[in-house]
Structure 1
């Protein structure tokens, strides 16, 4: 049996079933005949996505499932990287994360048209929704009045399967084995979809249940070469600088992703339908970050045995009394010198202090969304009413303990293939003898919660005139957010290297061997505190006793609590229009969406007398107009122009009026804190898009330009502040920044139907995005691009589909970008000679990620009409993440992104 996806070019209603509200926004009224698109495989999915793009009133790029359980990527985030204008990054657990649309993370995510978020944030973590649950994803880049406000980057609508999309009873069972090259383990992934529809005395009833579960073991080794320090500070080698530590970390662990969704539809009459949906997504993880680090400037006993020849990379720098970049307090006091420094790539240190750290984590996410409603679809009048609700929580327990010893010899190479390479002969951290407690014990317990109740009414009326349809609607949303944290730390008993682990009575159960890091000691394993021991109640209490804490988990601290309530009322009025110009057609929509938000947010700050509560009430009102036009020039050619005013409300944690800070126990970690700003205003963007598209029998080509002018851009900046005589780097958000984005998007696909025989099964597809972004306004980053944005991004793919065989190979590339503003940090950096004595001058210092690409592939075969097997691989060339600070010779991180190979079977009844 084939699955049929039907596109109605004669009406706005009916795209992929009866998604009434969202279908109206993506399917304007058009003249023409009913067209049926049959989705049968990779080619079918691409053709369906092209048809959505062609018929949508907005600028939309879509991904459509090849068939039930055959979405081309494992998670929603992984699938989105194929969309023009979308950029992603890789998380510590080797998943695709960090989705940006045209350089912005301010994305409004909806699930079947309903607002969707993660915990107390405004964004949704796309990796939390397995692709097995998806029928389709729309990336809507030019919004209209009927869409929920909140995405200046755009709207990403995730669509799930519905029972009325199926003509017959259907059962689909999928099983997959995933092999990771980093952990050399095989992990399971399972999914089941069941659906049927029945004629009853009250109408036709449809029900669907979709359940999936996966388990993943992962390992992501990282070598880092952090800040550089003047060797004149301790080793009496003026004019040279080396990295202050040689370190690395292996992020490893296990996570599970359970997911379930159910849908019910009752077609009571030809016009009247009732429906109910329920969705659950979850995340369960026991994981750890295993740090190993040798510190060269923390002890006067450390010596410099050999200093290699300088690299020739020399510059003028300001140097504080500790050999680092002076902070704001030192700059104001003039407590620094100006030196010419040359970078050193190779050095050998003796008798340095080293440690291994186990940062154990226990994490759990639960996200529930439910909705029920009714729709009436008459000859002219359409009505829809819906109530939806969501509850999302995230809980995390982090327990950190460091141990270490002195290392006789450490050899450092900071520029081996654009990364660090370190060797300590004999692998001293691989043995338990002589291990001391180091730095301290840190406990960080936190939980976040977000909830939403939304009521929405929509209506539309079709007319026989220049105005073809009128739409109107109202929405009320009651949103809550809450955050609690307990964070306490204490230095090592007896001081650093003051207490032997063996003297405390801890036995072998305290130690574990971590997975090796290839660029440290040749990948040999080292000892660290056993993360499972740190997750156990008995282990935690024993360590708390050693460090002088009482038993039991720490209570949530009132000075770290904040909560918010936010009530939003919105309405919209929108009109669809259509008229002829000669033999061509111009159609589109124009409308306006007024919205008003009232919120109360409460936090606190610590003080010498206790805790001071703080609260703020804020209100914002915006009117958001839009105008969209499509010019259907001929059967093959069309052009678009779109304008919309969009908004993005600040994140709840950014609005928190409180402040929290903590003194670090590791001397190489800066004392830090965070503060919010309840006076933040929403970000406002004037958004323009224009496209030209050509569709032909076996494909299409499309090109577009876009421009975004964003006002009141919210950014976070770190400044050194002195609190009770202690200096902290405090991160605060502010509105003083603006930004401009402009770019070009090109995309296309073609199938070689004109070739003879089996050659006709080949096809190609691809897209390219040029993104030119710039921070404007009154901001220190003025003139720089936006964080996380690559100027160049492309996907290029080759596919084959014929006689039951289908294959796909895709190469995804993005150029360099910066992922961190470390201007407020203490790393040495070049300065302008004419500003050395200006205390307000601190050169911009950014962390850059080098250009990289990833190659993915899949091949499948239909054994029968019901059974399919497939083989695939992601990152099969083993692309690595490589980064640097400011100048390309300041190498920073070298991360081993995983390659994953999959073998799967899908059975459909």
Structure 2
């Protein structure tokens, strides 16, 4: 028998089966719209020029115009450009922006960093948005790429932009009905196939917009956009346990402690709806109301086999890496084996609503906006564990990923296993934000000083994780896997790491997950009578209220007949935090409530300068101060303990620190740009950030309830300097004859040096998750009805963590450099119909990490190639 996710079948219209493994808790609406470029996330507006977005060249020109006209250093991508490649979410669209790096999650774009920093402020049409969870930022994977009209990445700060983005600010712009000339209806569908999961799933998107002239009352517009995505996926993960010091092999010898091999399959579902009403009763007057909803759900089934080092081994099997004391190959005798089969489902659900308006009369302009957002995130984890012993377990670390083999024991025979436990864990997060904002501008009759701008913003944000982490794993004893034949099955994915030639553990029994999503029934089937607790340990629960009051003033100026322009500004922000939770009393050992209030004020000056010193040449300079507040979980006083049911030495704990201070930064940016006209443009930017008080984590052993846990706690570390260069541009070969002139290229390269003290390693390292070098190369072609793109995204190795090894020290963990290849081919059949063939991860990239050396492998990951066939209709 198979679980629901595994039973998805191979029908093109089935719900899909999904990918990736977490081993413990831990369509396209190509709007061919005639539209004015939208205003920035703050109050600075791009000069109103009518741009018809038709085709690849026009979309790139629009993005370049936004970059050229802004005073800030900003990179943009617009809808038609986003949808030229098979990007499922905003996160994937962002990876092609200079200076942006992303991490992969189930083969898709995940965490976004700007200039190496995850502290990125996110806004939707200028309003702050967030995803409930361990952080305070927005998960850009939550929004389907089809629903955005454009993305602006602000690399420099200004007084009118929201504070909070140490790395920068990303503003997502959605379409509005009065942007279109008249009635629009756009619908798209595509079928996506994953070659590892061998399954298909459909995706749909639609947009309907219209505008009406009201007799004597101006114009009214309404727009509704919908996106429904399903993607089936599979991810194979092979992890090597932390190195062990084994003097019985040889004095000072280190050896891999285990293998953990997981196949995860499942479905990712994105659903999003947005609606807008716009009314312009007269010139200079506008009222609007808009609302949006997104749900991003990952349904995952995982089968994981673990084989560990034992107390005995075959001495004749031992081979060392040349010239080292690190074991390359070894065969363990009577090695412990465990199998974990589990359902792991994760959901994000976000809602936003806003009303506002604009009044513009003569030299005066006022905008007001009132918004509310809430977000919910929940993790569900459930399934059976069983274990046994392998007569011989062999590991060979000489390949790109370790080879593994079990001999002498039939792992496909249920009689060789006994149940050890049933897992159950849930972990929710909740958040909401209410904000009111007013911005005003007075245009001045001055030669240099063009206007005075200012504004106020009041916001109240709440976050909590009640009822906390519910950890209800239950032990099972005296039950063999053969005693319950209906709860085990042969591994349905015996082609582990296909096409790589890497030997792995493939023929073994796995758990049946039919009852995994009915945890009470699963527990009853194994005679577990203890009820699932309704809430977690009070130590793990926290609640935080945060109020901010912000005011800004800024003054744009201009001179030399418009060749020189800039602005200076100041933003003042008052932050008040109220933290509630529980802590253990050291004297009595009891759990007691704790409440901590804290407040602080920041003054954030900024200045921008733009000088067009030669025809087609522009120089820019920007200075600013920014801050990022600690995440809510970092501020919480709570303690979360996660026991490891297989190896208690791997028990983990996570705790917060209410005394954390914000991370503050002083920034300098210098840039030069060259506009090549119809042939393209390029730019070079250098930047430095002097960061004070980066938040780091320190891990130490602590004893709780008689068990030892390695508990990680955050603290404000020493200052750091981040500096780098960004080089990017686009070029069209317009001088080539005939159809050859349709070729073009986009390219970017980013270098970032972020030396900071890593207390765990006791040395200076790059920031965690940051590649020193990254690049994008996109080949473009457009001729007549045919448009094609091929995009290569690459990043070099980055620090992904550190691991303490008993008796040896702390090893850094590095993910090695890798590239990702996507491509698309589109054919415009007529003015109404376009068809597309697209492919993602075409080289089926294998991502590999190690503990600071290829002789100490850590993990390897392999994801599907994704192929899709789609069509778009416009009326």
- Whether these two folds match at TM > 0.5 is yes
2:366 aligns with 383
Q: Do residues 867 (structure 1) and 833 (structure 2) align?
A: yes
Query: How far did residue 571 of structure 1 move?
Result: 0.5
2:414 is paired with a residue whose SS is coil
Query: How far did residue 468 of structure 1 move?
Result: 0.5
Q: Is the Cα–Cα contact under 8 Å of residues 225 and 414 in structure 1 kept in the other structure?
A: no
Query: Alpha carbons of 1:789 and 1:537: their partners in 2 closer, same or farther (altered >3 Å)?
Result: closer
1:82 aligns with 96
1:286 aligns with 299
2:402 aligns with 420
Give distance in 1, aligned partners of 2:44 and 2:456: 15
Give distance in 2, aligned partners of 1:826 and 1:291: 24
Q: Do residues 356 (structure 1) and 378 (structure 2) align?
A: no
Q: Do residues 214 (structure 1) and 214 (structure 2) align?
A: no
Query: How far did residue 232 of structure 1 move?
Result: 2.8
Q: Do residues 15 (structure 1) and 25 (structure 2) align?
A: no
Q: Is the Cα–Cα contact under 8 Å of residues 584 and 590 in structure 2 kept in the other structure?
A: yes
1:878 is paired with a residue whose SS is coil
Query: How far did residue 349 of structure 1 move?
Result: 2.2
Q: Which moved more, 1:721-730 or 1:269-278?
A: 721-730
1:307 aligns with 317
Query: How far did residue 598 of structure 1 move?
Result: 0.6
1:226-252 Cα deviation digits (max 9, x unpaired): 21223335xx54443321112211232
Matches within 5 A, 1:729-808: 729-776=710-757, 782-808=763-789
1:852 aligns with 818
2:411 is paired with a residue whose SS is helix
Q: Do residues 131 (structure 1) and 145 (structure 2) align?
A: yes
Query: How far did residue 419 of structure 1 move?
Result: 1.3
1:574 aligns with 554
Question: For structure 1, which runs of at least 5 residues remain unmatched after alignment?
Answer: 7-13, 315-341, 830-842
Give distance in 2, aligned partners of 1:799 and 1:127: 25
Give distance in 1, aligned partners of 2:231 and 2:84: 19
Query: How far did residue 361 of structure 1 move?
Result: 2.0
1:16-70 Cα deviation digits (max 9, x unpaired): 3xx4x6363363x7xxxx6443321222221111111111110101111117966
Matches within 5 A, 1:171-320: 171-201=185-215, 202-233=217-248, 237-297=250-310, 300=311, 302-304=312-314, 306-314=316-324
Give distance in 2, aligned partners of 1:851 and 1:617: 44
1:677 aligns with 657
Q: Which moved more, 1:261-270 or 1:736-745?
A: 736-745
1:332 aligns with none
Give distance in 2, aligned partners of 1:422 and 1:197: 64
1:25 aligns with 44
Question: For structure 2, which runs of at least 5 residues remain unmatched after alignment?
Answer: 1-29
Query: Alpha carbons of 1:147 and 1:433: their partners in 2 closer, same or farther (altered >3 Å)?
Result: same
1:272-328 Cα deviation digits (max 9, x unpaired): 10001101110223213322111123xx5x5436433211252xxxxxxxxxxxxxx
1:802-850 Cα deviation digits (max 9, x unpaired): 111000111111111111122xx33664xxxxxxxxxxxxx55211011
2:694 is paired with a residue whose SS is strand
1:833 aligns with none
Q: Do residues 826 (structure 1) and 826 (structure 2) align?
A: no
Query: How far did residue 512 of structure 1 move?
Result: 6.4
Query: How far did residue 122 of structure 1 move?
Result: 1.3
TM-score by length of 2: 0.91
Matches within 5 A, 1:503-652: 503=483, 506-511=484-489, 513-516=491-494, 517-518=496-497, 524=506, 526-542=508-524, 546=527, 548-552=528-532, 554-580=534-560, 585-606=563-584, 610-652=590-632
Give distance in 2, aligned partners of 1:491 and 1:114: 45
Query: How far did residue 584 of structure 1 move?
Result: 6.9
Query: How far did residue 184 of structure 1 move?
Result: 1.5
1:151-171 Cα deviation digits (max 9, x unpaired): 010000001111011101010
1:428 is paired with a residue whose SS is coil
2:300 is paired with a residue whose SS is strand
Q: Is the Cα–Cα contact under 8 Å of residues 775 and 781 in structure 1 kept in the other structure?
A: no
1:518-551 Cα deviation digits (max 9, x unpaired): 37765735322223322124533325x54x5523
Matches within 5 A, 1:403-482: 403-416=386-399, 418-425=400-407, 428-438=410-420, 440-465=421-446, 466-482=448-464
1:535 is paired with a residue whose SS is coil
Query: Alpha carbons of 1:515 and 1:313: their partners in 2 closer, same or farther (altered >3 Å)?
Result: farther
Query: How far did residue 509 of structure 1 move?
Result: 4.0
Q: Do residues 46 (structure 1) and 60 (structure 2) align?
A: yes
Query: Alpha carbons of 1:862 and 1:225: their partners in 2 closer, same or farther (altered >3 Å)?
Result: same
Give distance in 2, aligned partners of 1:26 and 1:775: 38
Q: Is the Cα–Cα contact under 8 Å of residues 791 and 815 in structure 1 kept in the other structure?
A: yes
2:177 aligns with 163
Residue number among 21, 24, 32 corresponding to 1:3 in the alignment? 32
1:15 is paired with a residue whose SS is coil
Matches within 5 A, 1:83-102: 83-91=97-105, 93-102=106-115
Matches within 5 A, 1:888-903: 888-903=854-869
TM-score by length of 1: 0.88
Q: Is the Cα–Cα contact under 8 Å of residues 462 and 545 in structure 2 kept in the other structure?
A: yes
Aligned length: 835
1:742-764 Cα deviation digits (max 9, x unpaired): 01110111111111111111111
Q: Is the Cα–Cα contact under 8 Å of residues 365 and 393 in structure 1 kept in the other structure?
A: yes
Query: How far did residue 146 of structure 1 move?
Result: 0.4
2:352 aligns with 369
Query: How far did residue 606 of structure 1 move?
Result: 4.9
Q: Is the Cα–Cα contact under 8 Å of residues 305 and 350 in structure 1 kept in the other structure?
A: no
Query: How far did residue 444 of structure 1 move?
Result: 1.5
2:470 aligns with 487
Give distance in 2, aligned partners of 1:784 and 1:682: 22
Give distance in 1, aligned partners of 2:82 and 2:258: 51
Query: How far did residue 510 of structure 1 move?
Result: 5.0
2:853 aligns with 887
1:658 aligns with 638
Q: Which moved more, 1:355-364 or 1:812-821?
A: 355-364
Query: Alpha carbons of 1:857 and 1:71: their partners in 2 closer, same or farther (altered >3 Å)?
Result: closer
2:15 aligns with none
1:137-193 Cα deviation digits (max 9, x unpaired): 000000110011100100000011110111010100100111112211111110010
Residue number among 133, 140, 149 corresponding to 2:154 in the alignment? 140
Q: Is the Cα–Cα contact under 8 Å of residues 34 and 180 in structure 2 kept in the other structure?
A: no
Query: Alpha carbons of 1:155 and 1:250: their partners in 2 closer, same or farther (altered >3 Å)?
Result: same
Q: Is the Cα–Cα contact under 8 Å of residues 881 and 897 in structure 1 kept in the other structure?
A: no
